[in-house]
Amino acid sequence: MGDGWETARSRVKDHVDWVICRLGLKGKSVDRVIVDTKDFRGNFPRAVRVEGWIKARDEAGAEPRTDQDGWIELLRGERPCQADTEHVFEAQDLSDPITTGGRVLTHVKMTIIPDGGVKRLRIFGRRA
């Protein structure tokens, strides 16, 4: 496994795995989210949840924690996934509205349910 993120299988009830990524540029809105499970045919997540971390433009601080207040839903609930597929989530799949209202989006958290493999996560939107 050399390209993507693959987690070990777990048989624990309600198990999930997550990753927090810092965005390359701070954002003010999100237009599209792509979760790519290419090449993961037998070990892909059943579903994904994608959230964004927003903070005041002038607020400084440490990296966000997974259980910290301030995460907003970018995708509506858990979105189902399939094997070896580029999942494109737009318009009706996104939480409404995804604008930050004077704050900036700095990080994204993707939760895979219950576990599996993801080749790529891409977030498209407007920079702050």
Domains of the chain: 5-127 (2.60.120.260)
Average pLDDT, integer, range 24-35:
92
Q: What is the pTM of this model?
A: 0.87
The pLDDT value given to residue 1? 47
For 23, list phi and psi in degrees, rounded to 5. Answer: -70, 150
Cβ neighbour number for residue 110 with a 10 Å cutoff: 22
List Cα–Cα distances, 26 to 18, 118, 123, in angstroms: 21, 23, 11
The pLDDT value given to residue 57? 60
Q: What b/e readout covers 5-30, taking b as 16+ CB neighbours within 10 angstroms?
A: bbbeeeeeeeebbeebeebeebbbbb
The pLDDT value given to residue 79? 96
